[in-house]
Amino acid sequence: LLKLKPCIEVKNGSMGVGKKYRGKYADVLKEYVLERLGDGSDIDLDRVFVTHAGCDMEIVESVVELVKKTLPFKEVFVTRASCTISAHCGADTLGVLFIRKHPIA
């Protein structure tokens, strides 16, 4: 009814709900990708994963293209979420996974 799509984030080793997106799925995914990647200044650009739980392949490919246009990753992998993630999060779950750079102490 409200078309809410929660973003699950991992911070300090714990999972929790981050932002709650609202709207059509395709629009929400675009906003999600752009917000997650930002300007890329703190992201390791070696590789990124677009991981999904049974999303329509047109949607997955559109996300992959957006990721490629947004930042110059060396490798972009499309992967299928595990049965645990798929069971807990449900069909049409999609995530963009990457490593953030850590400042040298």
What integer pLDDT is reported at residue 103 of this predicted model?
63
Which positions ≥6 away from 57 have C-beta within 8 Å?
Answer: none
What integer pLDDT is reported at residue 16 of this predicted model?
86
Q: How many percent of the chain have pLDDT more than 90?
A: 59
Kindly report whether the global pTM for this prediction surpasses the value 0.95.
Answer: no
Residue 14: HSE in the Cβ half-sphere, 13 Å Cα cutoff: 4
* pLDDT(105) > 60: no
Per-residue pLDDT, averaged over 71-89, amounts to: 92
Question: pLDDT tens digits for 37-53?
Answer: 999 999 999 999 999 99
